[in-house]
Amino acid sequence: MYFSRFLQWKWLERQPATKNTFRHYRVLGKGGFGEVCACQVRATGKMYACKKLEKKRIKKRKGENMALNEKKILEKVNSRFVVSLAYAYETKEALCLVLTIMNGGDLKFHIYNMGNPGFDEKRAIFYAAEICCGLEDLHKERIVYRDLKPENILLDDHGHIRISDLGLAVQIPEDETIRGRVGTVGYMAPEVINNERYTFSPDWWGLGCLIYEMIQGQSPFRKRKEKVKREEVDRRVREDTEEYSDKFSEEPRSICKMLLTKDPKQRLGCRGGGASEVKQHPIFRHINFKRLEANMWDPPFVPDPRAVYCKDVLDIEQFSTVKGVNLDPTDDDFYSKFVTGSVSIPWQNEMIDTECFKEVNAFGTDGTLSPVLDSNKPNPPPKRGLLYRLCRREVCFKSSFSDDEDDPSKTL
């Protein structure tokens, strides 16, 4: 009985996702290949963010590998400090990633658009601790993020953060190093700028830049809105020592210096202990990481649910039309690798969070067999309720053990 119910849930989980699975709402922002909008699963009411990757734009920029890499890494990571991928589907014009929705805005907006630039020390330390946990979860999967900056750190409704936009992340094979001059100007580590080989050291440098910016209200190697050439910023990163104002107390100054060490071998987090040695720094002495990782630590700032912590939709630059690019059957192989429907753990969490599991996972009285699991009884008439909405079939949850294998409606 229980195994039969399990198979039915797995069957439901494997149903293909299409644009009709969701309701789409207002634009939240933009990514590298298209818009990001709010969406809602019609069957359960769960809200997500839908990141659209326009097919023609991907092809024009030869971004197939980057898009597929981001999708595979998002699928692999299951962390409360990194955005989760719940569904991947396609429309005629775009490939779509359905991700954790983060209504609290990004750290850049909060640093520069909510009063005086920067945060108080307590708030900066809280965000740094959660980012450290997110990096630890990525590094456990041997994934180096490589693009840590305020724009990529998002707040949820409750004030917790998640790392987003894993387009530049890459998985490093065991006992190997990689090379790649990628990232954002002013946040790239010296070893990245110098095109040297590395593993996870760029992420700890990025954390140092982020802590500095959260407290100082500007990045360590470029002032806010300063017009300076890329080559000059890179030179500062390689050669100059960051300056500290009186906004920094002893412990934030100490951790920034240790994370912004030019030599990656001497950098905090790169001496063999990884995230654990960063967590042991005195700046985090008041943080209980066990409670933080269990979502039992209250954030110092909770977003106002009535506020919009982002640019006005009218201020979001519109994407231009892609011309001169034609889609053809040779692209179908890439699309088939990308479009895989729901992702198990986020989908299961959705069923639990929306209480669909509680409502649907019902058995008969006194633990007897449920009518929809009893192959000796006719299926009950369909109800236009939750079960109907979940699978959009005439009869939901057909018996798993039907003898009529030629009738697809009676099998999983």
6 in any annotated domain:
no
How does DSSP classify residue 122? H
pLDDT value at position 28? 82
The answer to whether residue 271 is domain-embedded is: yes
Structure confidence at residue 377 (pLDDT): 65
Q: Same structural domain for residues 23 and 120?
A: no
Distance of alpha carbon 82 from alpha carbon 102, whole angstroms: 11
Give the list of residues 6+ apart from residue 345 with CB closer than 8 angstroms, or none. 78, 84
Task: Domain count for the chain, please give it.
Answer: 2
In terms of Cα–Cα distance, which of 411, 407, 355, 349 is closest to 7?
411
pLDDT for the residue 38: 92
Tokens of 123: 């708030």
Give the pLDDT score at 389: 58
Based on the domain organization, do 97 and 148 belong to the same domain? Answer: no
Q: Does any domain span residue 344?
A: yes
The size of the chain, in residues, is 412
DSSP single-letter state for residue 124: H
b (16+ CB within 10 A) / e for 41-71: bebbebbbbbbbbbbbbbbeeebbebbbbbb
Which residues touch 376 (CB under 8 Å, ≥6 apart)? Answer: none
Are 170 and 241 contained in the same domain? yes
Judgement on whether residues 65 and 124 belong to the same structural domain of the protein = no
What span, in angstroms and rounded, lies between the C-alpha atoms of 300 and 95? 37
Q: Are residues 347 and 225 in the same domain?
A: no
Rounded Cα distance, 58 and 326, in Å: 11
pLDDT at position 95 is 92
CATH of the domain at 268: 1.10.510.10
User: 193 lies in a domain?
Assistant: yes
Whether residues 282 and 163 fall in one domain: yes
pLDDT recorded at residue 393? 37
Q: For residue 115, what are the CA distances in angstroms to 33, 105, 118?
A: 32, 15, 8
pLDDT of 370 reads 65
* Cα atoms in the Cβ-side hemisphere of radius 13 Å centred on 229: 3
Is 213 part of any domain?
yes
383 is a domain residue: no
180-186-187-191 Cα dihedral, nearest 10 degrees: 40
| 160-to-29, 173, 407 alpha-carbon distances in Å | 20, 31, 48
* Domain extent for 239: 107-293
Residue 377 lies in a domain: no
CATH number at residue 54: 3.30.200.20
The last residue of a domain, from among 331, 351, 371: 351
Instruction: Report d(CA 350, CA 86) in Å as an integer.
Output: 9
Q: Which amino acid is at 62?
A: K
**Residues classed as catalytic:** 147
In a domain, 153, yes or no: yes
Below-50 pLDDT ranges, the chain: 314, 382, 384, 392-412
| Residues 114, 226 within the same domain | yes
Which residue, among 141, 166, 161, has the nearest Cα to 292 in the 3D structure? 161
Residues 167 and 211 in one domain: yes
Same domain, 167 and 39: no
Tokens of 148: 């840590």
Strand-pair category, 161-163 with 170-171: unpaired
Do 339 and 289 sit in the same domain of this protein? no
- Supply the pLDDT for residue 330: 79
Residues 140 and 30 in one domain: no
394 Cα distance to chain centroid: 35
Statement to judge: residues 160 and 278 lie in one domain:
yes
Beta-bridge partners for 94: 54
